[in-house]
Every structure is written in structure tokens, then in C-alpha cells.
Amino acid sequence: MKNFRINFLAHKDITKKDLTSILRFKDNVWSYGIESQFSWIKKNISNNDIHVYISQKREIVAYANLIDGVSTNLNNLVGIGNISVLEKFRGNGYGSILIKIILFYLKTHKKDAILICKKNLISFYKKNGFKVIKPLNLHLNFPVSDDNYFMANFISPQIVELSKTF
């Protein structure tokens, strides 16, 4: 791992060049096609949401987005989505660095985090400060299979009840 850069970019400030790089990265990880990736971002990412990525030699190697405004009985909950690392860079710590930087950012902004993951990733997220939670009254605008788990990282221990679509 050499000379990498961490980028936080509000969606409202994204340039065409930045968006193209993100779309290419996402399509390398999930091969749905560039147009499909663009449609997903257009539908699901709001102006105040944030793209977070690690780049090395101008190539995005790890990416996540922060979805602001997840409504709960708590204030300031942010959804972390699309956490991914290019296959050729996996196993080198980029995923952990990305998560730790995001959690530091959220902590400085007094925000809690929630994410959805597969069972095989629970140990990775636990290692990086998350706990499995059982959401109550959670309404999503996309299907969630039985093999998905909800994980959270709270600034202080709290009981959470999710109540709004995110």
C-alpha cells in the first residue's frame, strides 16, 4: 500500500470526471453496466450524500457512499452503502482504512452509522467497530434477503428503532 489519497466528495459537488471514475469503479466491482450504475446513483444518491473513496495513482481502489438523513428515534444516523474494494487490491487493508476514516469523519460530525451486509462480512465489520443490531420497524425501498444483516456503529451505546425508508 503506497501513496494513496482519501477523497470525500459531496454529490452536489461532483464533476463529470469524478462521476465517470466512480461509475467505472462500481462497474468493475458489480458488472451491471455503466448506464445501470448511473441510474442507481441518480435514483438513490441525494445532493447532500457523500462519495468516499481511496485512490492510488488516479485509480479508485476502494469506495463507499454516505447516505444522510436516515430517520430513527435517534438523530444524525447515516447509512453507509456500496462499500467495496477492487478485487486486485483486496486483502491489503484498504477496506479497513476506508471504514476507519468514515467512522472518524462521522464521529467528528456527531453522527452514528448503519449498514447492511452479508453474513460472511460480519467479522470484518465487527473488527472495524460495528455491532449486529436487530432493526425494529425498518421499511426499505429495496428487497433485503434473509442473508442480510444490519450493523451499526454508535458514538455512545443506544437502543435504536429504525422507522423510515432509506
Q: pLDDT tens digits for the chain (166 residues)? A: 678 999 999 999 999 999 999 999 999 999 999 999 999 999 889 999 999 999 998 899 999 999 886 655 555 678 899 999 999 999 999 999 999 999 999 989 888 888 888 888 989 999 998 888 776 545 555 556 666 767 777 765 444 444 333 3
What pTM did the predictor assign?
A: 0.83
Q: What is the CATH code for 4-153? A: 3.40.630.30
Q: Where are the domains of the chain?
A: 4-153
Going by the DSSP 8-state scheme, the letter that residue 61 receives in this structure is E
Q: 141-147, long-range: CB within 8 Å, 24+ apart, which pairs?
A: 141/165, 141/166, 144/116, 147/118, 147/119
